[in-house]
């Protein structure tokens, strides 16, 4: 099957999704990120790898953290970074997505980092670039609709590998609104490819997609049962609009059933780590005592995210 993310030699040219990426490519990204972690610990947090390259951050949907970490990552690679706040620019004047892309290509862009509310938008751009013969321009998906958020998935894998070393002995639980979560989808594909034997999805029936079992995921509606003996707990953000959309009764009710409290966390393994892609809703999906507790690795995730994004941009820009 044709995978638009890979060239004919199997090298990564775009990062659109963790789905369909071979284990060797995922491992290469994680290994390279480890080298970039060292760069971020230096006095001079910069390497000349992408000097002279122009990276355009195209955020058609708001995001502060992801855009900032992509910007820091690009700057640490010595690239020139241009942030486009598309909400306020040409799209608002009626320009199509691909016209915007053509214009940015004419400005000698080398790499697009794309966040879009529509699933598949980064694919559309990657295919367009191929069609117009610009295989020197690369696309990194920074989150598209409900579909994928591959750099978040990869930074989650980096975090798990950092604390747990070996993927092949782990029980990993993902808790919350998996139905609307591109992070969950990217995590599940990456975890499976990297050889995690047991991935669990925990949440109310209204927030879990059907057919999760086809991805090899074990489904739990009872959090106490689902957390039992887990090595890794990935909490997802509960978006406020879900409350209004009649999928859930109330934030308080949700917290009672699916909020991660110290009592519930005690059911997981004693050395289990707690992850969250941020931004957190304290008192909705996670108790402050857990978020600030010794098992939380939520802030290290942010730091790892910069190194992972440096690795992804460094790899695709060179292929």
Partner 1 sequence: MSNLIPLPDAEAQCRQLAELIRPQLAKNPALVGIFSGGAWIAERLKQLLGLSEEIGLIDVSFYRDDFSAKGLHPQCRPTVIPFDVEGRHIILVDDVLYTGRTTRAAINELFDYGRPAAVELAVLADRGGRELPVAATWGAWEVTLEAGQNLVLARDDHGQLAWRLENA
Instruction: Give the residue from 153, 155, 142, 143 showing the smallest Cα distance to 34.
Output: 155
- Which is closer to partner 1, CB of 77 or CB of 202? 77
Q: Which two tokens stand for residue 266?
A: 């005690």
Taking CB under 8 A as the rule, does residue 31 contact partner 1? yes
Smallest gap, in angstroms, from Cβ of residue 76 to partner 1?
10
Smallest gap, in angstroms, from Cβ of residue 15 to partner 1?
14
Q: Which positions from 43 through 102 interact with partner 1, judged by CB under 8 A?
A: 43-44, 46-49
- Choosing from 6, 37, 219, 251, the residue that interacts with partner 1 (CB under 8 A) is 37
User: Which stretch, 37-45, 63-71, 153-161, 285-293, contacts partner 1 (CB under 8 A)?
Assistant: 37-45
Taking CB under 8 A as the rule, does residue 42 contact partner 1? yes
Taking CB under 8 A as the rule, does residue 271 contact partner 1? no
- Which is closer to partner 1, CB of 193 or CB of 281? 193
Taking CB under 8 A as the rule, does residue 165 contact partner 1? no
Smallest gap, in angstroms, from Cβ of residue 39 to partner 1?
7
Query: Phi/psi of residue 114, each to 5°?
Result: -120, 125
- Which is closer to partner 1, CB of 63 or CB of 303? 303
Rounded Cα gap, residues 275 and 277, in angstroms: 7
Query: Phi/psi of residue 70, each to 5°?
Result: -65, -40
**Number of residues forming the site for partner 1 (CB under 8 A):** 21
Smallest gap, in angstroms, from Cβ of residue 174 to partner 1?
30
Taking CB under 8 A as the rule, does residue 28 contact partner 1? yes
- Which is closer to partner 1, CB of 43 or CB of 271? 43
For residue 51, cis peptide bond before it (omega within 30 degrees of 0): no
Enumerate residues 6+ apart whose C-beta is below 8 A from 148.
16, 17, 18, 19, 119, 141, 182, 185, 186
- Choosing from 39, 72, 82, 247, the residue that interacts with partner 1 (CB under 8 A) is 39
Smallest gap, in angstroms, from Cβ of residue 314 to partner 1?
5
User: Which stretch, 32-40, 82-90, 112-120, 241-249, contacts partner 1 (CB under 8 A)?
Assistant: 32-40
Taking CB under 8 A as the rule, does residue 35 contact partner 1? yes
Q: Which positions from 3 through 22 interact with partner 1, judged by CB under 8 A?
A: 11
- Choosing from 195, 252, 262, 318, the residue that interacts with partner 1 (CB under 8 A) is 318
In the complex, the residues that contact partner 1 under the rule CB under 8 A are 11, 28, 31-32, 34-35, 37-39, 42-44, 46-49, 314-315, 317-319
């Amino acid at each position: 099957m044709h995978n638009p993310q890979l060239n004919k030699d199997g090298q990564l040219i775009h990062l659109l999704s963790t789905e369909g990426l071979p284990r060797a490519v995922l491992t290469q990204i994680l290994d390279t990120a480890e080298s970039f972690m060292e760069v971020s610990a230096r006095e001079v947090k910069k390497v000349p790898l992408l000097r002279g390259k122009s990276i355009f951050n195209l955020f058609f949907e708001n995001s502060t953290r992801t855009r900032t970490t992509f910007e820091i990552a690009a700057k640490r690679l010595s690239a020139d970074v241009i942030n486009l706040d598309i909400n306020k620019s040409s799209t608002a004047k009626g320009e199509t997505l691909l016209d915007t892309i053509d214009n940015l290509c004419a400005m000698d862009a080398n790499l697009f980092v794309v966040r879009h509310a529509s699933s598949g938008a980064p694919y559309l751009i990657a295919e367009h670039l191929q069609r117009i013969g610009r295989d020197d321009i690369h696309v990194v998906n920074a989150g598209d609709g409900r579909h994928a958020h591959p750099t978040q998935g990869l930074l989650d894998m980096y975090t798990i590998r950092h604390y747990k070393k070996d993927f092949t002995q782990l029980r990993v639980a993902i808790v919350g609104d998996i139905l609307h979560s591109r992070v969950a989808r990217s995590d599940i594909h990456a975890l499976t490819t990297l050889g995690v034997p047991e991935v669990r999805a925990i949440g109310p029936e209204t927030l879990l997609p059907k057919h999760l079992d086809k991805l090899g995921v074990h489904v739990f509606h009872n959090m106490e049962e689902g957390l039992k003996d887990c090595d890794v707990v990935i909490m997802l953000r509960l978006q406020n609009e879900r409350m209004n959309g009649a999928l859930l009764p109330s934030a308080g009710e949700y917290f009672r059933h699916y909020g991660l409290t110290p009592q519930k966390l005690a059911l997981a393994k004693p050395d289990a780590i707690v992850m969250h892609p941020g931004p957190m809703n304290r008192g909705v999906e996670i108790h402050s005592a857990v978020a600030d507790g010794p098992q939380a690795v939520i802030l290290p995730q942010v730091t790892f995210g910069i190194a992972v994004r440096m690795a992804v941009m460094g790899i695709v820009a060179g292929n």
